[in-house]
Structure 1
């Protein structure tokens, strides 16, 4: 690794360490995500509400879907309490819950969004009301026959019931948006179903830690719960909760602890850096294999130039003749041991050259073989004759060897 790379990597690593240190020591922002779990102490958890209520009445926690819980042959009697930011039953589950209510039981639902099938069953209509007075939407909450107005101290989108029937529904609570004049919208309704009752409440934030621990707001929850029979067992739903009451993943416990979370991130970062730099260092270079070059032509040309410079024309001529005879053996499949008239006739037939040309060429070859001294001109004449023999067939250009 080059020195500049090492310096750059060192600066990058120190920067990551500095950013990690600053991030780890920064105070965690307020977690306003909805949970409504009885074990969560975050603002929109219900730890304070659940623990205080558990001390004054019997509560059974239900960790399975209502359909499975009520499927039992001897389903318990009591009050099924649903509290979440949204609640949507499928049709089969809703029918199971309504059958259970019609037998004389009670269901309490508090959610900011309620499934349409439940609202249709109860003949209710709802819409979200958001008031932007001074860029805030913080409604007050009132209970029937009470003068108290419990003010929410954070912004919400209030769900109100726009259609109620005095013969079917008993409005128990309202949402108050302004002081003068008072503008009230129903947010807490009771209706009868068979032998039982269904309570629908559209402001679950009223049971959150953030609301109950402010001033005297706990009194609102007490007024709401006063409508529930204290002698019945309370079935606290843990299944329909945005915040889970239990976690099966080991990463939840690891990432839930701040120190363990940053240690885990450091291990991941170190592993990635190790794979990048150590893997690159140990990788064996792949050699570039070049195809061997054919140097035959260059070698032959160099030898020929050497012979020409030294004037060794006889040696050049004999080599030229040998190469030509080798060409005949490979190209025309003829034996060149006897260069007689029979050989010339066969070569004439196979090569396509005229009989006179073939006879003159081999007559010249036999003559030059017998000579002791060969001039440059004679060597060039032989070269041209052989080239003409190879390249012409019956007076036309032939295939070049």
Structure 2
């Protein structure tokens, strides 16, 4: 006789509410459920850039956190995936499951909506899809804290949470909150999963709770981002500035310097004595001494490879155009100037996280973004330099 099938669990549906969500600054009620945002509604209303709108809705660092004795968990989501015509297919976003802080599973969501972009023409097509269901089974039957980290690179609507035992919000971890802002590298581009982006790894090693405001293409000193950081509770703050300003060829040195001061001033309005770290760009050879903008390398795209290239003239610094070398020098000077009156302001050269010595071993696959191994190296180095020893975020430092 065939074996008797296992009895399906008696599912308990728990509404997804704000007290189960960590790492988001806002939750938008949609026709399907809740959409986590990493910028508040006021900031989103002031934004006119579609790239930033997409990036802030991708839940890098956002996770569901709850206490339960459940051995099985189901999560219904509606992801929005991006498809680039002519480029290699993007892998589906991954969901990481942690039990009491330790990796316990990983899943992807089939289906969902998609945005199809033709890089050669700029045409964009929206396609609708079905809600997907993730299932994690075999969890230990004891009281535990469960975390489901959402894909760092897929807009994700939370539709339903089901378990085979009751769920309650997890109490505060008691750890310090680290608020970080940066570019696509901080967002997690080309990392393997949401818990292995370099900020997530650094937060885990540093024993802190992460709020990640890394926005692909969106670290351009927007005042509404500074105000969002000003108004967000945090024990530690860092801003990683530079590459997106060059990518977009957005400003010259004359505008960059006061924009950095204004961004830091706004953060300080809400966090006058919080440890604040300014991180300059990691190594990016194509923009070290060549200004932006950054463009797709269409010659490589024809070969099915997604690569980037600089479109600026080299050298072209006499007119104030920005390169990574110029930006690093200016950020160091700004921090040194301000630190005379702000002893809790610190500086880190991004090349300490990824520099020339790393380039031969771990080249940037698309000339711009680090791969999964480099994310791990950057996270470990940030933890060593910033959270340990005499680093600016060492526990107990004022």
TM range (shorter): under 0.3
Q: Which has more strand, going by share of residues? A: 2
Q: Which has more helix, going by share of residues? A: 1
